[in-house]
């Protein structure tokens, strides 16, 4: 992996042990793309970002939701590199074994941003994928921080809450990604729709123990 720099860390929501998920839940990630989005129209619209219909469907939800619009635009190219992200499902353990439980991983290579979504989430509801991508789009350089992760997790929770309001049935999905999103939503609501408890979860996440508090664009100590 020479030339690659990881800037996303273990995104597992607090209280979720992926190793204890039922095999039937993990198997849900083995299906294929959403066929209704494997069309010439969407292939043309998202050809620079993804070839996966599930990702296209998630991005369509993001485009129509004001709170996710910044992330959508970033994925489409309005970011620090001025190039669209590349997004795909992947067995993240193939990159590095210690990444196996990550929900998603971001990389920067030769001034291009990549998001690899854990392939076990391939059949997750598009609302959950949209929330996850809204988070990952915040990471646009190799500098990470506790402030940046707090912001990204809080945005993810807010996006999930709004999309679940539109389609409440998604909260009952057996998807492990939905379990993550529901946990983040609980923390968001518990904090009176603020980052209060999400920040505590980020600061105590062992995957972030070596992160600085601040990074470029996320200097505010009181975030």
Q: Which domain holds residue 138?
A: 5-208
Residue 55 lies in a domain: yes
Residue 62 lies in a domain: yes
Using pLDDT thresholds of 50, 70 and 90, give the confidence band for residue 37.
low
| Contact status, residue 184 vs residue 156, Cβ threshold 8 Å | yes
Residue 41 lies in a domain: yes
pLDDT single digits (tens) 72-120: 999 999 999 999 999 999 999 999 998 898 999 998 988 999 999 999 9
Residue 213 lies in a domain: no
Residue 98 lies in a domain: yes
Q: Which two tokens stand for residue 164?
A: 């679940």
Q: Which two tokens stand for residue 190?
A: 């518990």
This prediction's pTM: 0.84
Residue 157 lies in a domain: yes
Residue 218 lies in a domain: no
% of residues, the chain, pLDDT over 70: 82
Structural domains counted in the chain = 1
Residue 223 lies in a domain: no
| Contact status, residue 129 vs residue 54, Cβ threshold 8 Å | yes
pLDDT single digits (tens) 185-203: 999 999 999 999 999 999 9
- Residue 151 and residue 223: Cα distance in Å, rounded? 8
Q: How many CB atoms lie within 10 A of CB 146?
A: 21
Residue 20 has pLDDT above 80, yes or no: no
| Contact status, residue 14 vs residue 183, Cβ threshold 8 Å | yes
């Amino acid at each position: 992996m020479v030339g690659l720099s990881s800037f996303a860390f273990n995104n597992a929501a607090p209280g979720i042990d992926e190793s204890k998920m039922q095999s039937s839940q993990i198997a849900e990630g083995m299906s294929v793309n959403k066929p209704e989005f494997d069309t010439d129209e969407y292939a043309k619209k998202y050809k620079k970002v993804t070839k996966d219909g599930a990702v296209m469907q998630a991005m369509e939800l993001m485009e129509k939701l004001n709170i996710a619009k910044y992330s959508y635009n970033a994925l489409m190219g309005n970011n620090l590199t001025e190039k669209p992200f590349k997004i795909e499902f992947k067995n993240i353990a193939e990159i590095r074994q210690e990444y196996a439980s990550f929900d998603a991983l971001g990389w920067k290579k030769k001034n291009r941003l990549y998001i690899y979504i854990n392939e076990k989430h391939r059949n997750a509801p598009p609302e959950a994928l949209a929330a996850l991508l809204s988070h990952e789009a915040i990471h646009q350089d190799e500098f990470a921080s506790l402030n940046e992760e707090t912001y990204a997790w809080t945005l993810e929770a807010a996006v999930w809450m709004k999309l679940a309001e539109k389609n409440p049935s998604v909260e009952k999905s057996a998807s492990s990604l939905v379990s993550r999103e529901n946990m983040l939503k609980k923390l968001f609501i518990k904090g009176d729709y603020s980052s209060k408890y999400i920040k505590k979860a980020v600061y105590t996440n062992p995957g972030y123990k070596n992160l600085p508090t601040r990074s470029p664009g996320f200097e505010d100590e009181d975030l």
